[in-house]
Amino acid sequence: MVGKQYGWVKIISTAIQRRGVFIHWDVQCTGCGTRKWINKANLTSGKTSGCQACSQPKDKVYEVLGRRYDAIYARCRNPKHKLFKGYGGRGIELRFASRREFCTWVRTNLPHPTYQGVELDRTNNDGHYEPGNLRLATRLMQVNNRRNTAKLSWGGELVPLSEFPSPYAPSHTYRMVKVQGLSGEEIIEKFMTS
């Protein structure tokens, strides 16, 4: 195990400390050189990436993105989380090695001044939280990307009912799509001929 790195810290000796039932490893931060003892379970599960001074910059944007990472982590990896069934329970994974890697990637590839008022959304709703499958989205975009969002065929594409300019009331349009199986073109043609 000596030399193995977890986040910002590297195991530097074979020595261990027992504190109650918990095992702690002797590690050193690769960023600032600080040597300390860290709980083995927290380190291997990703609950900590080591040195607080190096792994969590004092930047408001990183704080916002860090909270989003924590929420994603919980949905994907904690079976006791209320939303686990729809994420980790159906195979959605968080594929960033650490909170810092996630924050750095988002900030570099999805720039935004504050990340307030926008959501981080998976482009492919059945894909993982990983580079290339994340985008910044408005709340409406995110709602329209849900698995249970009603969609219809219109103009050769599947579009959410909320974006279809139906001449009928939304509930009537919904029934025409779900019960009768009509496309957008068929709904408009039906209106024009009636």
Among residues of the chain, what percentage have pLDDT more than 90?
A: 25
* One domain, residues 82 and 100: yes
* One domain, residues 87 and 107: yes
Q: What pLDDT was estimated at residue 107?
A: 92
* One domain, residues 72 and 127: yes
* One domain, residues 94 and 79: yes
* One domain, residues 131 and 96: yes
* One domain, residues 47 and 14: yes
* One domain, residues 43 and 73: no
* One domain, residues 47 and 89: no
Q: What pLDDT was estimated at residue 55?
A: 56
* One domain, residues 129 and 85: yes
Q: What pLDDT was estimated at residue 96?
A: 93
* One domain, residues 35 and 70: no
Domain that holds residue 181: 151-193
Number of domains composing the chain: 3
Phi, psi of 73 (to 5 degrees): -55, -45
How buried is residue 139: exposed, middle or buried, by Cβ count under 10 Å (0-12/13-18/19+)? exposed
Q: What pLDDT was estimated at residue 138?
A: 80
* One domain, residues 65 and 136: yes
Q: Please give the Cα distance from 129 to 18 (Å, whole number).
A: 35
Q: What is the pLDDT of residues 22-46, one digit of tens each?
A: 998 888 877 667 788 888 888 888 7
Q: What pLDDT was estimated at residue 186?
A: 87
* One domain, residues 39 and 104: no
The secondary structure of 29-94 as a DSSP string is ETTT--EEEEEHHHHHHTS--S-HHHHS-S-HHHHHHHHHHHHHHHHHH-TTSTTGGGTGGGT--B
Residue 161 forms beta bridges with which residues?
none
Residues with pLDDT less than 70, the chain: 31-32, 49-58, 143, 145-148
